[in-house]
Amino acid sequence: MNKEKSAIWYPYRQHKHPYTPLKIKSAKGVYLTLESGAQLIDAISSWWCVIHGYNHPDINAVITEQINTLPHVMLGGLTHDPAENFANKLVEITPNGLNHVFFADSGSVGCEIALKMVFQFWMNQGNTKKKKILALNRSYHGDTFGVMAVSRPDDSYPSMHRMFKGILTEHLFVPEPKMGFEADPKQLAIDIDLFHDMIKTNHKHIAAFICEPIMQGVGGFNLYSPAYLEKVVSICNEYNVLVIFDEVATGFGRTGKLFGADHAQVTPDLMVLSKALTAGYCGHSATLTTSPVFDGFLSDSFDHAFMHGPTFMGNATACRVGLKSIELFQDNQTLNKIAAIETCLKTQLAPFSHPKVKSIRVLGAMGVIEVYDANDLKGMQAYAIEHGVWIRPFDRFLYVTPPYIITKDQLQHVIDVMIAWF
Ligand SMILES: Cc1ncc(COP(=O)(O)O)c(C=O)c1O
């Protein structure tokens, strides 16, 4: 091969055309430093995970301590304090009733594990009919095979996995909720009816309903009401359909509460955490379950055990990072910081209007400008870089999900650049 070209196959990229990604030399706080020495504010927290900023001294310190003691050991047949403590901490901070934690290494795999668990849960009870998952249109749960099959952005946003139709398992989809976070009552009733009808007709075949609570991210930052979440959970409970909350993106404060579930004060049967779980230092995920789900695997038969075990599950260093990240989150009153980010986005970004802008939505530490035509965002990324901001618009969505340590002035600069583009 041509050694002058990079050997890296980059994500979501057509490599036919020349491509020179920005080279990052270092990062500190909210800033990425380029080879030239120029600095960019990372307005999207490296795909939403670097919640406390880069190169955090307290996280660095626990990593150093841990790698000098026990960087990693397999969790098959062995255990250690970092994994035990991290699991206990996750049980403590997540909605009441989630008592068991299965670790893995990424958001996609965490969701795959949830799917595998719900199918086996029903098979373990002798129910062989429940072989479908119900998901929302515009949902996104990752890029691996199981979760590709339950990810379906709507028609106006072409699904990146649609060429795999016929290869992927066919599951069930219900129209995404359209009532918004503030819950237009008429639309709320329509959305709930659609969901209810789907479950009533198909519940015998549905193992679980999976959703990103309150905010569908990659499917276009669709915000929906806690009233909808509460109602669909109760419908699922009534019809014996398990509920999986994919909190990979919404978890750890992004929507203004610690978890999306907290807006509705509901407990799903399974919850998946990743991204901010390890504050952007390394990949890890946690799939939590209630005791009834866990108990569904207890049996005298080894066949009923959950046959899964990623090599790096419960990695000791990742667990220490996760524990320290939760400590920082709590000690620094991060929910108050997120509320301040929300206020700034609501006052400085939300009132903006322009003929090209279809809508602006803000919730917690997320703000998005949706345009009518994706072409209107072409060139925006380069423009933002010129003005000291790292941002990655996709399709018709120009969004910010900043690190929670961003200052008011830094955030104002990001907002000014977004608005100035128009
Ligand atoms: C809601 C949701 N679920 C799952 C994933 C997949 O996570 P990962 O990229 O770590 O595999 C993502 C990634 O963006 C996500 O937003």
- The 3 state secondary structure assigned to the chain is CCCCCCCCCCCCCCCCCCCCCCCEEEEEECEEEECCCCEEEECCHHHHCCCCCECCHHHHHHHHHHHCCCCCCCCCCCCCHHHHHHHHHHHHHCCCCEEEEEEECCHHHHHHHHHHHHHHHHHHCCCCCCCEEEEECCECCCCCHHHHCCCECCCCCCCCCHHHCCCCCCCEEECCCCCCCCCCHHHHHHHHHHHHHHHHHHHHHEEEEEECCCEECCCCCEECCHHHHHHHHHHHHHCCCEEEEECCCCCCCCCCCCCCHHHHCCCCCEEEECHHHHCCCCCCEEEEEEHHHHHCCCCCCHHHCCCCCCCCCCCHHHHHHHHHHHHHHHHCCHHHHHHHHHHHHHHHCCCCCCCCEEEEEEECCEEEEEECCHHHHCCHHHHHHHCCEECCCECCEEEECCCCCCCHHHHHHHHHHHHHHC
- For 328-337, the pLDDT digits (tens) are 999 999 999 9
β-sheet bridge partners, residue 27: 32
Catalytic residue (one of 3, 12, 23, 331): 12
Inform me whether the pLDDT recorded for 156 exceeds 80. no
Domain spans of the chain?
Answer: 24-55+333-421, 62-331
If one looks up domain 62-331 in CATH, what number appears? 3.40.640.10
Does the pLDDT of residue 226 top 70, yes or no?
yes
Return d(Cα 416, Cα 251) in angstroms, integer. 27
Tell me the per-residue pLDDT of 113-150, one tens digit each, with 9 for 90 and over: 999 999 999 999 999 999 999 999 999 999 999 999 99
Which residue's CA is minimally distant from atom 9 of ligand 1?
Answer: 107
* Confidence band, pLDDT 50/70/90 cuts, at residue 161: confident
pLDDT band at 163 (very low <50, low <70, confident <90, very high): confident
Please give the structure tokens belonging to residue 331.
């000690």
Task: Tell me the pairing of strands 242-246 and 206-211.
Answer: parallel
- Kindly provide the b/e burial profile for residues 45-74, where b requires at least 16 CB atoms within 10 angstroms of the residue's own CB: bbebbbbbbbebeebeebbeebeeeeebee
The stretch 369-373 carries a mean pLDDT of: 98
CA distance 220 to 356: 17
Catalytic residue status for 12: yes
Count the residues in the chain.
422
Catalytic, 246? Answer: yes
Two tokens at 76?
Answer: 């098959």
Average pLDDT over residues 63-73: 98
pLDDT of amino acid 160? 78
Residue 196, judged by CB atoms within 10 A of its CB (0-12, 13-18, 19+), counts as: middle
Find the catalytic residue in 42, 154, 246, 262: 246
d(CA 8, CA 12): 12
Q: Which of 104, 116, 175 is nearest to 147 (CA)?
A: 116
Q: Residue 97 above 50 pLDDT? A: yes
Single-letter amino acid, residue 421 = W
Tokens of 230: 């509460």
Beta bridge partners of 161: none
For 303, the token pair is: 């066949």
Going by CA atoms, what residue is nearest to atom 2 of ligand 1? 141
Q: Counting atoms of ligand 1 from 1, which one is nearest the CA of 144?
A: 11
Per-residue pLDDT, 186: 96
Q: Is 107 in the pocket of ligand 1 (CB under 6 A)?
A: yes
Going from the Cα of 87 to the center of ligand 1, the distance in angstroms, rounded, reads 21
State the average pLDDT over residues 99-121: 98
Q: Hey, which of 141, 152, 284 would you mutate to test ligand 1's pocket, going by the most ligand atoms within 8 Å of its Cβ? A: 141
Cβ of 244 closer than 6 Å to ligand 1, yes or no, is: no
Q: How is domain 24-55+333-421 classified at the architecture level of CATH?
A: Alpha-Beta Complex (3.90)
**Residue 233, token pair as written in the block:** 């959970």
Among residues 257, 417, 256, the alpha carbon closest in space to that of 349 is found at 417
pLDDT of 155 reads 53
Q: Is residue 111 a contact partner of residue 248, using CB atoms and an 8 Å limit? A: yes
CB count in 10 Å sphere of residue 15: 11
Q: pLDDT at position 6, please?
A: 87
Q: Hey, which of 176, 210, 271, 274 would you mutate to test ligand 1's pocket, going by the most ligand atoms within 8 Å of its Cβ?
A: 274
Dihedral over alpha carbons 265, 282, 47, 322 (to 10 degrees): 30
Is 344:408 a contact under the CB 8 Å cutoff? yes
Q: Measure 302 CA to ligand 1 centroid, in angstroms.
A: 31
Indicate whether residue 140 lines ligand 1 (CB < 6 A). yes
272 C-alpha to ligand 1 centroid (Å)? 10
